[in-house]
A and B are shown apart, each in its own frame.
Chain A
């Protein structure tokens, strides 16, 4: 049975008001298979579909569903393609509009220029013609006037001659006739100039329209490129001697190559003449310029060139090379158990913006450890807090707008004790220091007066010198070795302790003093000129000094015997500095970097 009959059946069943499916299935001769080849419902064993691919209704339904979804997906793909094409078209539409718009503008501009030039020429030529005309007319008119005058004169003469001719009186006639005759003859003899004063031709000057021709020709030619734009300096793209320069072209102009120009602009006042301009031809929109000076500013600009010509120069950009690395001044650094004060030389003649201090723990097996940094340091020194009992490596970098310099050579610091040096510019001129800065001598010789250069900062009575110390309120320990016969004063003082006073004699210094009398050794512990009465039986030759800001104490020890000698109790209002003086010729050696012995640091 064919599809129509099936439909007819279905209609019948519908008319019978929705018989259930089971009933439908059990009706005889109802279709129960699907022919894949013909795509119709049919009955099993139907003659028309004997050799066709027959499948169950369920399978058939599934097959058709699969086919349907395949076709559906093909259709969706096509739709996407069309959409893409459509948006592409949109873009092209816009671009074409833009490009044509530009071309139109260009053309309009060009033609305007041409028209302007033509009208200028026209005006010029017209003016020239006008001039000529006026000139000729003037001359002709002049001639006309002269003719008229001549005519008038002649007529007058003839009249007067006639008048004389009519006179009866022969005597009067003869008297008057000769001059008149003469005049008439003279007049008749005169040649009359009957030539035209001006030619009737017009002198047409040839107009120079070559530039108009040129402009017309160039309408069809590529315009010269518009000026490129210099990019600002990219962070960290510069080195000490090179700059990485970039620029951009904000138009679709064709460019064959660029030319980059640069010139050193320095704040260095010694250069008064402007520096040479260097240039480089480059195909890309970036390039690296080398052989430059460190920490210097350069002015850069660029032009773009194509077959038509060269673009105007871009605005000038200023780039800066990175500074040279600083150099740490090891002799002037001080450290303690928990901090260090680092000082360095800038390494650059011109100022830099700031410095960065980097520190990391030195590991025993060469493994790299985390680096910590302190940035934006404005001057050439920095106080850094560290952990006790460790070794650190410290580097400094100089920073300007071009970026950071390379690292300075390293400084090794151990936070195992108090390290410091003597402040040489506070030393009394009679006090000389050893090369390593740790031993001081008061020599038994008269120095020449010229040697005795005092300044506001040097001690000028007490032969003394101050030491430097980390400016942190912590604990510090150092030792000194003295000669048996050295009469000394050692202790601490405020940085502004009076330079014309003796250590211990004022309220800004505290010290232990040794006096050698003929009979014995005398010891004083001086502050503000006062000392307790203390006798010491064994002369200390190695003196330990312990300073503790927290507990407000300054203690002195015979370090060789571990013997406590005396302790000052004082709340220090400011940071104090170690101080040393020799009252008589002798020597004193400083020992720094020592760890405070346990008997010292205990409360």
Chain B
């Protein structure tokens, strides 16, 4: 952090993007930190977690963005997923933002666990009263990377994205909507086809309105069907005993069909006995980080 101290000061003077360290813990020879800042997209204070591997002390590292699922904050992933060991070994910075703007005092935002607070769905809302603050798509794809690249020893050319459940949906759409921006993408139990499932229909109608054509802009299956861009390499793990799989919230078959048709390389693994929890993420996070490292460290 010392190297960048000067720039920090400058930013503070400019009054933009001031970062405050909330916590720092040494982990696997690197540091798991949490920062807070004033977000210009979300118009509120936002926290994010960042893991800095030992390699970051001496050189720039690639960055993996992790998007968490419904009801999560920046804490769940860093305390439950066990990603620090692999990140340390492969020399990758892992950034885990929060899942929605907080403390905006919007009416109705606390009503449901699957809409509003903790359920940003990684879209830029167009409907009131959400459209001012609920711009998670831009936050994740633009503001956050700018922040990270300016304040940390991050290689701006090497970014990958991953996530769980709603965050899996977020990772897929960010990659599909930004060809070439991410070197690789992976997901755990993602919501593959939101316009066809209850969660997605509820969230999109609230954030985006009634016009379903606007929903398609944020649907991974639809985006895959019309994707054209550099080749992707997508790894998806899905627990077979996931209750949301059986309740048709996730719909991975639709995505697989679309990717097969469009020849988008996907390896989809149905893991016997696993559910939707962080225990499932913990079990396979090393495979995912290795998958990303192949491209980030190439």
Q: Do A599 and B294 touch across chains, with their CB atoms under 8 A apart?
A: yes
Q: Which positions 259-279 of chain B face chain A at CB distance < 8 Å? A: 259-260, 263-272
Checking B264, B269, B270 against A538 with a beta-carbon cut-off of 8 angstroms, the contacting residue is: B264
Q: Within residues 528 to 586 of chain A, which ones have a CB less than 8 A from any CB in chain B?
A: 532-538, 558, 561-566
Could you say which residues of chain A place their CB within 8 Å of the CB of B291? 564
Inter-chain CA distance A433–B162, complex, in Å, is 46
Tell me whether A273 is interfacial, beta carbon within 8 Å: no
The complex places the Cα of A563 from the Cα of B269 at a distance, in Å, of: 14
Asked if B231 and A561 make an inter-chain contact with CB atoms under 8 angstroms apart, the answer reads: yes
Q: Tell me, in angstroms, the Cα distance from A562 to B291 when the chains sit together.
A: 11
Q: From the candidates B231, B266, B294, name the one contacting A535 in the complex (CB within 8 A).
A: B266
- B window 239-298: CB within 8 A of A: 240, 256, 259-260, 263-272, 291, 294, 298
Tell me if B272 and A537 are in contact (CB < 8 A).
no
Tell which of B267, B272, B298 touches A599, judged by Cβ atoms closer than 8 Å. Answer: B298
Instruction: Produce 1/0 per residue, A71-111, CB < 8 A to B.
Output: 00000000000000000000000000000000000000000
Chain A residues with CB below 8 A from B260, complex form: 520, 537-538
Q: Is the CB of B267 within 8 A of A536?
A: yes
Q: Which residues of A contact B272 (CB under 8 A)?
A: 532-533
Cα-based distance from A520 to B233 in the complex (angstroms): 20
Q: Which residues of B contact A565 (CB under 8 A)?
A: 267
Pairwise interchain contact B270-A563, C-beta atoms closer than 8 A: no
Are A535 and B298 in contact (CB-based, < 8 A)? no
**B interface residues, tally (CB under 8 Å):** 19
Docked Cα-Cα span, A564 to B256, in Å, equals 17
Other-chain residue from A520, A533, A537, A562 in contact with B263 (beta carbon distance below 8 A): A537
Cα of A179 to Cα of B270 in the assembled complex, Å: 162
User: A598: which B residues are within 8 A, CB to CB?
Assistant: 298
A535 to B267, CA, bound (A): 6
A207 neighbours in B (Cβ, 8 Å): none
- A534–B267 CA distance with the chains assembled, in angstroms: 7
Provide the bound-state CA to CA distance between A562 and B268, in Å.
16
CB–CB B256/A537 < 8 A: yes
- Would you call A535 and B264 a contact (CB within 8 A)? no
Residue on B with the closest CB to A521? B260
Complex contact B266–A537 (CB within 8 A): yes
Are the CB atoms of B265 and A563 closer together than 8 Å? yes
- Would you give the shortest CB distance from A97 to chain B, in whole angstroms? 94
Given contacts A520-B260, A599-B298, contact A563 B267 (CB under 8 A): yes
Query: Which of these, B231, B265, B269, contacts A533 with CB under 8 Å?
Result: B269
Given contacts A537-B263, A537-B264, contact A561 B233 (CB under 8 A): yes
CA distance A426 to B99 in the complex (A): 59
Q: How far is the CB of B149 from chain A (nearest CB, A)?
A: 26
Nearest neighbor of A523 in chain B, beta-carbon distance? B267
Q: Which one, A535, A563, A566, contacts B256 given CB within 8 A?
A: A535
> B270 touches which one: A533, A536, A599 (CB < 8 A)?
A533
Contact B269–A532 (Cβ < 8 Å): yes
User: Is A602 on the interface with B (CB-CB < 8 A)?
Assistant: yes
Question: Looking across the interface, which residue of chain A has its beta carbon closest to that of B252?
Answer: A535
Residue of B nearest to A532 (CB): B269
Identify the closest chain A residue to B253 (Cβ): A535
Kindly identify which residue among A536, A564, A599 contacts B266, using a CB–CB cutoff of 8 Å.
A536
Contact mask for chain B residues 82-104; partner A; CB cutoff 8 A; 1 contact, 0 none: 00000000000000000000000
Known contacts: A535-B256, A537-B259, A561-B231. The answer to whether A602 contacts B294 by CB under 8 A is yes
Q: How far, in Å, is A490 (CB) from chain B's closest CB?
A: 17
Give Cα A532–Cα B291 distance, bound, in whole angstroms. 18
Q: Please, which residues of chain B bring their CB within 8 A of the CB of A535?
A: 256, 266-268, 270
A538 and B265 form a contact (CB under 8 A): yes
Q: For B266, list chain A residues within 8 Å (CB).
A: 535-538
Q: What are the nearest 8 A-B pairs in CB distance?
A: A533-B270, A537-B259, A535-B268, A537-B266, A537-B260, A538-B265, A563-B265, A599-B294
Chain A to chain B contacts (Cβ below 8 Å), 8 pairs: A520-B260, A532-B270, A532-B272, A533-B270, A535-B270, A537-B256, A537-B259, A563-B265
If A533-B240, A535-B256, A535-B270 are given as contacts, then 8 extra A-B residue pairs at C-beta distance below 8 Å, sorted by A number, are: A532-B272, A533-B272, A535-B267, A537-B264, A537-B265, A538-B265, A563-B265, A602-B294
